[in-house]
C-alpha cells in the first residue's frame, strides 16, 4: 500500500507506472499461483502471467461476471476458487522455511496466516444471484481500514467528528466500511445498525444526544428519517455532513435532505456520496463540494477500466462506460476484470480534481445500474425495455413527493397477460393532487418512455409499510409483483 | 489490564489486594477527579480509598445513567473527562522524551457508543473509549482462552446485532485471535437458512448465539435433516440459560453437530465492558479482578443482586451499579474445573424484572418467572413456550408440544409441575410450533419475547 498523501499528489503517468509494476507482481506472485479460478482461466486461454507488462495488457484477460463467482445449487462453493489460498504452499514451503528461519518458525507461519487466512467476510445482497461471500484476511482488513481512512480524508472528516452510522447492519460492505473507517481514524461512532435494529425514534434521539456531526445513511431511508426528525423539531445543528452509501443518489434528493437539515439548525450541511460494490471490498467517495467531481479511487489498490457495455471495448477518458474492477494487492477473494454492471455516464477522468487537487482517477458520480433495464410486455409487442433507474431521480428529487413506490403487476394476475405499472404516491401537505398527478405523468413518460396505468394516492404510513422502511434492509422502491418474478 | 497469564494464576489474597489497590488509585484518584457525577457526589464525604469505603457508598441505578428530560447530553455526567493534553506527558522529563503515560487524552477519546439492551425501554448511551475498545480486544482473547477456543476454530457469530457488548465482544474476540468468522448479526438480520448454510459451508466449529436462538436453530437443523459434523462448541448468553437448558441444548447439538459437542455460557453486561465466560457449565462466570469489582448485595427478592464497579475503564464509568441481575454469590476460590485463580459469579443469573406480582383468587403472589426457563427446559415434550403475565389474571403459558396429540395428557401435568415450582397454577394452552415461533418473534426481535405482559 502506498502513502495516500503522496499518492494523491503523484502525477497520473507515474501512478500508472506504479500500477503496471504492481499488476505484474500481483499476477505472477499471487493470482496465477494461488487463485484456482484464474490459474485455470490463464491456462485455458494460454495466458502467460510473465508476459503481462502492465495495465494495457489486462485486456487479454476475459471478463469475470457475477455468475462466475456466485454459488449455485450445483456448485455451492464456487466462490472459493476466487480466494487467494496457498494452503498447500503454506504448509509445504513455509513449514520447511519455518524450521530454517533464524527468527523462529512461529513468526514465519504467523506472517503467512496474517496474509492469507480469511478472518472476515461480506456477502453480496443476492438480488440477482445467490448471495456470495467475499473474504478478507488480516492483511486485507488493513486495506479496508486504509480505504476507510482515505475515504474520510476525501470527505475531509477528522477524529473530532462524531459519526452516526445508520447503515443497516448486515455482513455487507456499507456498514463495515463505515465501521473500519471510523475505527482507523479514531472517530467517535455509534454503529446503530439502522432503523431496523435500533428503531427510527431511538436513532433520531441518538443524533441529538450524541451531537452527531456526520451521518451515514442509505438514501431512501435518509429522507424518511430526516422528515421524522424535522417534525419533532430536533436540534441537528451539530450535523456537518451526510454520507450516502448502499445505493444510487438521485441529485434532487441531496437538495431535499440539505434543506431539511438546514431546517433543523445545520449550517451549510454537505450531502456526499460513496460508491462501492462488494467485489471492490472498499468504498470510494466524492470530495466536499456542491457539484460532484466524482468518486476518488485508490490506484494502488485497484485498477478501474470503463468499457462499452455491449462490445466490452475500453472507452476513452470521460466517455460513458461500464465500470470494470480489478483487484490489486489484495488477498482473500480477488476478482480481475469484474463487470460491475454499473454504468458511469460521465466516464472516468485522470485529470487532477478541480476541487481538492488530488491526482487519483475519478469515476463520474452519475451512475446507473445496467441490470435495472427491465424487460416489460407493455404492449402486444413483447420485450419493451424500461429503465427503472429513471424513477429514482424523478421521484426522489420531486419537491412535492414525500414517499413513493412503483409496483409492476400482470393484468388480471395472469402470467401471460400484459404488464402494468402502478405508482403509489404520498404527496406533500397542501399540494393539488390532480396537478401533481398530471405533472408526474408527463415527466414519467419523458424519463422512462412509459406511462403508469394508475397513480394511486396513499398516506405516508401506508407507503412506508409497503416499502418496509422499518423492517427491510433496504426499502422496496420497485416492487415486481408479477407472478414468477 | 494485567497480563492474562499472571492474572489467571493469581491467588485469592493477591486478587483482593489488586482490587483494593484499584479502588484506591482508580476510584480514589481518577474517578474522584474526572467523573462529573461521582466527583460531585463524593465532594462532601470524600472519595473511597478502600473496599470498606466503597461498601458505604450509595448505589447507582440505571435511571441515573439516563439523560434527564430536556438535556440529551446528560449521559456525559457518567463519562470520565479526558485530562488536559498538557498534563499528559508524564512530567517534564517524560515530555522531553516524548513519553506518553497511561493518562494520554487519546485513551479517553470516544471510540464507540454502545446502547444498553433497552430493558428500561429508553436508550442509554454507554461510551467505550479507545482504551476500552483495546481492553475489549484483550477481554475477547481472555474469553476465548477460558472457553478453550483457538485461532483454528471457525466461528459463526449469531449474537443479535445491537450496538452493545454481546455482538461486539465476539467480533473483537474472533478477529483478535485471527479465527475465521462470519458476523451474521443473528437470525433477525441474516435469517435461519443463511446461518445454517454458513455453518455448513464454513464447516464451523463454533456458534455464538442466544440460548433461544440456539434451540430454534438446532431444532430446525434436525427438522431439515442438516448435519453439522464440525460444530462442537455452542456458546450461549445474553438471555438466561439455566443448566437444564444447557443440557437440553447439548443433546440437540450432539444430534446435529459433533458427537462430543458442548454448550458453554457467557454473561454479557454492557456496563462491565467485558463479557465473562464459564469454563464448564455451572463452574461460575469467571470475571477479571483487574477490571471489575462485582458485589453481591442482599435484596428483598431473596437472592443477592449483582452490583458492579468498574476498576479500569475510560469513557462511561459506574460505581456500585445495580445490574438488576441476581446471583448466588461471588467466590474467589480457584476454579475446581479449570484451576484458574479467577474469581467467579456463582449460581444462575436471574433477572429481577422477571419476578412479578400477580393476584390469584384475590391474593397477591410473587412469581419468580426466571425458574420457567429451567423447569420447562427439563420437559422434553415441550419444544417452545411463552408466558403471559397479567397482574389481575395470573399467569398463562402457551407451549408447543413435540406431539400435539399428547396435549390432553401433557398440559395438565405441566400445570401441576409448574404449580409446584412456582406456587401458582398457570393456565396452560397448546399452540403450533410455527404459530408460537411467530408470537415469540424469534427472527423479528433481537431476542425472543419469552415473558410478556398482557391479557391471558
pLDDT in tens, B402-426: 999 999 999 999 999 999 999 899 9
Nearest to B209 by CA among B229, B235, B173: B235
Mean pLDDT of the region A356-384? 74
Residue A141: phi, psi to the nearest 5?
-65, -30
What percentage of chain B has pLDDT greater than the value 90? 85
Nearest to B181 among A119, A192, A208 (CB): A119
Mean pLDDT of the region B327-347? 96
Average pLDDT, chain B: 93
Q: ipTM greater than 0.95, yes or no?
A: no
Give the full edge-to-edge strand order of the sheet including B394-401: B427-430, B394-401, B382-390, B451-453
Kindly tell me the burial class for residue A199, based on how many C-beta atoms sit within 10 Å of its own C-beta (0-12, 13-18, 19 or more): middle
Q: Nearest-CA distance from A188 to chain B in Å?
A: 5
Mean pLDDT of the region B83-101? 57
Q: pLDDT tens digit string along A305-347?
A: 999 999 999 999 999 999 999 999 999 999 999 999 999 999 9
SS3 A264: coil
SS3 B112: strand
Q: What is the pLDDT of residue B119?
A: 47
Residues in chain A with CB shorter than 8 Å from the CB of B201 are: 76-77
What percentage of chain B has pLDDT greater than the value 70? 95
How big is the A-B interface in CB pairs under 8 Å? 90
B179: pLDDT strictly greater than 60: yes
Q: What is the pLDDT of residue B320?
A: 98
- Chain A's closest residue to B71, CA to CA, is A209
B296: pLDDT strictly greater than 90: yes
Which residues 192-231 of B are in CB contact (within 8 Å) with A? 194, 201
pTM as predicted: 0.90
Which residues 33-52 of B are in CB contact (within 8 Å) with A? none
Q: Is A354 on the interface with B (CB under 8 A)?
A: no
Please indicate whether, in this complex, the C-beta atoms of B179 and A119 are within 8 angstroms of each other.
yes
Q: Is B85 on the interface with A (CB under 8 A)?
A: no
Give the containing element (helix H, strand E) for A182: helix A173-185
A381: pLDDT strictly greater than 50: no
The set of cell numbers assigned to A38 is 484464474
Nearest to B73 among A76, A186, A211 (CB): A211
Q: What is the pLDDT of residue B347?
A: 96
Please indicate whether, in this complex, the C-beta atoms of B113 and A188 are within 8 angstroms of each other.
yes
Q: What is the pLDDT of residue B415?
A: 96
Q: How confident is the model at residue B79 (pLDDT cuts 50, 70, 90)?
A: very high
Q: Is B182 on the interface with A (CB under 8 A)?
A: yes
Q: What is the pLDDT of residue B88?
A: 47
Residues in chain B with CB shorter than 8 Å from the CB of A214 are: none
Q: Is A142 on the interface with B (CB under 8 A)?
A: no
SS3 B111: strand
Please indicate whether, in this complex, the C-beta atoms of A209 and B115 are within 8 angstroms of each other.
no
A434: pLDDT strictly greater than 70: yes
Nearest to B143 by CA among B355, B305, B339, B288: B288
Average pLDDT, chain A: 90
Residues in chain B with CB shorter than 8 Å from the CB of A138 are: 178
Could you give the CA distance from residue B350 to residue B346 in angstroms, rounded to a whole number?
Answer: 11
Provide the β-strand partners of residue A303: A326
Lowest mean pLDDT among A169-183, A358-372, B30-44, B85-99: B85-99
Q: Angle CA(A154)–CA(A159)–CA(A165) in degrees, nearest 5?
A: 75
Could you give the CA distance from residue A365 to residue A286 in angstroms, rounded to a whole number?
Answer: 8
A448: pLDDT strictly greater than 90: no
Amino acid at each position: 500500500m502506498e502513502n495516500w498523501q503522496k499518492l494523491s499528489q503523484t502525477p497520473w503517468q507515474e501512478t500508472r507506472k506504479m500500477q503496471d509494476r504492481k499488476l505484474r507482481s500481483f499476477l505472477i506472485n499471487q493470482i496465477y499461483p494461488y487463485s484456482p479460478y484464474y490459474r485455470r482461466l490463464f491456462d485455458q486461454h494460454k495466458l502467460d502471467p510473465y508476459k503481462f507488462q502492465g495495465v494495457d495488457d489486462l485486456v487479454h484477460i476475459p471478463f469475470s461476471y457475477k455468475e462466475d463467482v456466485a454459488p449455485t445449487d450445483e456448485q455451492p462453493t464456487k466462490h472459493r476458487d476466487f480466494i487467494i489460498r496457498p494452503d498447500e504452499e503454506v504448509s509445504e514451503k513455509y513449514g520447511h522455511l519455518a524450521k530454517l528461519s533464524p527468527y523462529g518458525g512461529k513468526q514465519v507461519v504467523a506472517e503467512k496466516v496474517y496474509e492469507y487466512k480469511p478472518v472476515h467476510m461480506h456477502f453480496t445482497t443476492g438480488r440477482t444471484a445467490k448471495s456470495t461471500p467475499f473474504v478478507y484476511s488480516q492483511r486485507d482488513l488493513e486495506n479496508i481500514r486504509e480505504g476507510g481512512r482515505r475515504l474520510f480524508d476525501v470527505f475531509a472528516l477528522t477524529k473530532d467528528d462524531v459519526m452516526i452510522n445508520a447503515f443497516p447492519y448486515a455482513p455487507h460492505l456499507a456498514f463495515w466500511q463505515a465501521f473500519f473507517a471510523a475505527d482507523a481514524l479514531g472517530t467517535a461512532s455509534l454503529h446503530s445498525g439502522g432503523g431496523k435494529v435500533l428503531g427510527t425514534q431511538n436513532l433520531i434521539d441518538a443524533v441529538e444526544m450524541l451531537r452527531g456531526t456526520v451521518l451515514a445513511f442509505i438514501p431512501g431511508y435518509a429522507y424518511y428519517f430526516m422528515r421524522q426528525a424535522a417534525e419533532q423539531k430536533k436540534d441537528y445543528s451539530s450535523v456537518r455532513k451526510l454520507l450516502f452509501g448502499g445505493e444510487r443518489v438521485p441529485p434532487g434528493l441531496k437538495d431535499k435532505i440539505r434543506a431539511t437539515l438546514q431546517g433543523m439548525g445545520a449550517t451549510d450541511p454537505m450531502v456526499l456520496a460513496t460508491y462501492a460494490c462488494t467485489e471492490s471490498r472498499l468504498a470510494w467517495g466524492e470530495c466536499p463540494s456542491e457539484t460532484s467531481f466524482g468518486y476518488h479511487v485508490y490506484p494502488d489498490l485497484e485498477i478501474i477500466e470503463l468499457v462499452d457495455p455491449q462490445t466490452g471495448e475500453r472507452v476513452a477518458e470521460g466517455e460513458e462506460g461500464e465500470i470494470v474492477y480489478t483487484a490489486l494487492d489484495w488477498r482473500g477473494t480477488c476478482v480481475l476484470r469484474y463487470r460491475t454492471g454499473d454504468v458511469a455516464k460521465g466516464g472516468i477522468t485522470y485529470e487532477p480534481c478541480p476541487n481538492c487537487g488530488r491526482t487519483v482517477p475519478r469515476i463520474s458520480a452519475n451512475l446507473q445500474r445496467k441490470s435495472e433495464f427491465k424487460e416489460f410486455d407493455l404492449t402486444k409487442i413483447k420485450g419493451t425495455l424500461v429503465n427503472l433507474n429513471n424513477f429514482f431521480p424523478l421521484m426522489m428529487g420531486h419537491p412535492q413527493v414525500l414517499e413513493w413506490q412503483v409496483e409492476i403487476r400482470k393484468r388480471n394476475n395472469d402470467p401471460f397477460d400484459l404488464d402494468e405499472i402502478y405508482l403509489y404516491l404520498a404527496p406533500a401537505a397542501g399540494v393539488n393532487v390532480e396537478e401533481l398527478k398530471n405533472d408526474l405523468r408527463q415527466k414519467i413518460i419523458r424519463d422512462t418512455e412509459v406511462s403508469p396505468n394508475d397513480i394511486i394516492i396513499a398516506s405516508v404510513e401506508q407507503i412506508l409499510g409497503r416499502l418496509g422502511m422499518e423492517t427491510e434492509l433496504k426499502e422496496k422502491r420497485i416492487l415486481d409483483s408479477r407472478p414468477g418474478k | 489490564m494485567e497480563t492474562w497469564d499472571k492474572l489467571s494464576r493469581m491467588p485469592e489474597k493477591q486478587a483482593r489486594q489488586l482490587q483494593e489497590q484499584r479502588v484506591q488509585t482508580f476510584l480514589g484518584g481518577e474517578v474522584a477527579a474526572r467523573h462529573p457525577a461521582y466527583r460531585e457526589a463524593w465532594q462532601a464525604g470524600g472519595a473511597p480509598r478502600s473496599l470498606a469505603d466503597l461498601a458505604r457508598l450509595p448505589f447507582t441505578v440505571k435511571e441515573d445513567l439516563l439523560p434527564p428530560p430536556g438535556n440529551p447530553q446528560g449521559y456525559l455526567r457518567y463519562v470520565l473527562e479526558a485530562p488536559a493534553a498538557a498534563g499528559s506527558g508524564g512530567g517534564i522529563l517524560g515530555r522531553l522524551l516524548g513519553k506518553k503515560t497511561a493518562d494520554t487524552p487519546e485513551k479517553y477519546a470516544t471510540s464507540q457508543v454502545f446502547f444498553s439492551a433497552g430493558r428500561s425501554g429508553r436508550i442509554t448511551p454507554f461510551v467505550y473509549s479507545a482504551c476500552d475498545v483495546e481492553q475489549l480486544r484483550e477481554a475477547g482473547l481472555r474469553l476465548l482462552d477460558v472457553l478453550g477456543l483457538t485461532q483454528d476454530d471457525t466461528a459463526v457469530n449469531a449474537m443479535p446485532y445491537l450496538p452493545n457488548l454481546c455482538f461486539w465482544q465476539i467480533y473483537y474476540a474472533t478477529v483478535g485471535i485471527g479465527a475465521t468468522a462470519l458476523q451474521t448479526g443473528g437470525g433477525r438480520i441474516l435469517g435461519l437458512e443463511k446461518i445454517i448454510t454458513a455453518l455448513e459451508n464454513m464447516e464451523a466449529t463454533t456458534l455464538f448465539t442466544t440460548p433461544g436462538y440456539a434451540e430454534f436453530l438446532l431444532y430446525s437443523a434436525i427438522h431439515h435433516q442438516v448435519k453439522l459434523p464440525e460444530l462442537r462448541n455452542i456458546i450461549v448468553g445474553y438471555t438466561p440459560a439455566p443448566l437444564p437448558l444447557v443440557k437440553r441444548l447439548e443433546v440437540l447439538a450432539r444430534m446435529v453437530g459433533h458427537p462430543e459437542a458442548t454448550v458453554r455460557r457467557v454473561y454479557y453486561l454492557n456496563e462491565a465492558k467485558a463479557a465473562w465466560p464459564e469454563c464448564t457449565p455451572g463452574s461460575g462466570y469467571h470475571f477479571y479482578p483487574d477490571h471489575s469489582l462485582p458485589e453481591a448485595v442482599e435484596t428483598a427478592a431473596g437472592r443477592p443482586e449483582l452490583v458492579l464497579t468498574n476498576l479500569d475503564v475510560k469513557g462511561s464509568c459506574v460505581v456500585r451499579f445495580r445490574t438488576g441481575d441476581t446471583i448466588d454469590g461471588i467466590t474467589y476460590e480457584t476454579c475446581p474445573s479449570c484451576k484458574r485463580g479467577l474469581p467467579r459469579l456463582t449460581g444462575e443469573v436471574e433477572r429481577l424484572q422477571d419476578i412479578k406480582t400477580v393476584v390469584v383468587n384475590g391474593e397477591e403472589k410473587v412469581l419468580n418467572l426466571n425458574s420457567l426457563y429451567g423447569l420447562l427446559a427439563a420437559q422434553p415434550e415441550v419444544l417452545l413456550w411463552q408466558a403471559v403475565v397479567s397482574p389481575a389474571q395470573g399467569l398463562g403459558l402457551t407451549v408447543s408440544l413435540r406431539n400435539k396429540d399428547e396435549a390432553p395428557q401433557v398440559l395438565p401435568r405441566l400445570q401441576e409441575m409448574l404449580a409446584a415450582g412456582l406456587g401458582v397454577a398457570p393456565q396452560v394452552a397448546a399452540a403450533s410450533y410455527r404459530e408460537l415461533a411467530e408470537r415469540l418473534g424469534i427472527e423479528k426481535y433481537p431476542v425472543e419475547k419469552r415473558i410478556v405482559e398482557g391479557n391471558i
